[in-house]
């Protein structure tokens, strides 16, 4: 059985020194991007970096909630079977 989608809580940091996915903050995956939080630039950068780190296409990653908040909810459509394991490994960094 395959999942239709998987939701991921993200704690986002814009205007960071470097792009990075790893670690956790209050149960959410930490994602830092160098893009500024202006007109959705950081959200797009976070989605793209998240897709790369999870090994999925950028078109599979969609921001569901938190457009203007540090706490965001992303949904990965048609996730690979090992995606939860990958997320757990990233959160353990």
Round to whole Å and give the CA distance between 37 and 23: 21
Query: What digits encode the pLDDT tens for the residues 2-26?
Result: 579 999 999 999 999 999 999 999 9
* Residue 81 tokens, joined: 């079977």
The residue range of the domain holding 42 is 5-92
Q: What domain count does the chain have?
A: 1
pLDDT of 1 reads 46
Query: What digits encode the pLDDT tens for the residues 20-58?
Result: 999 999 999 999 999 999 999 999 999 999 999 999 999
What CATH number is given to the structural domain containing 32?
3.30.1200.10
Round to whole Å and give the CA distance between 7 and 66: 13
Round to whole Å and give the CA distance between 62 and 5: 10
Round to whole Å and give the CA distance between 28 and 12: 9
Query: What digits encode the pLDDT tens for the residues 62-88?
Result: 999 999 999 999 999 999 999 999 999
């Amino acid at each position: 059985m395959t999942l239709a989608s998987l939701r991921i809580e993200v704690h986002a940091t814009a205007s960071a020194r470097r792009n990075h996915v790893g670690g956790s903050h209050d149960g959410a995956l930490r994602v830092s991007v160098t893009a500024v939080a202006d007109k959705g630039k950081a959200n797009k950068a976070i989605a793209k970096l998240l897709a790369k780190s999870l090994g999925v296409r950028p078109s599979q990653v969609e921001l569901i909630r938190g457009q203007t908040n540090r706490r965001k909810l992303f949904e990965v459509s048609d996730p690979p079977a090992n995606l939860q394991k990958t997320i757990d490994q990233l959160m353990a960094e």
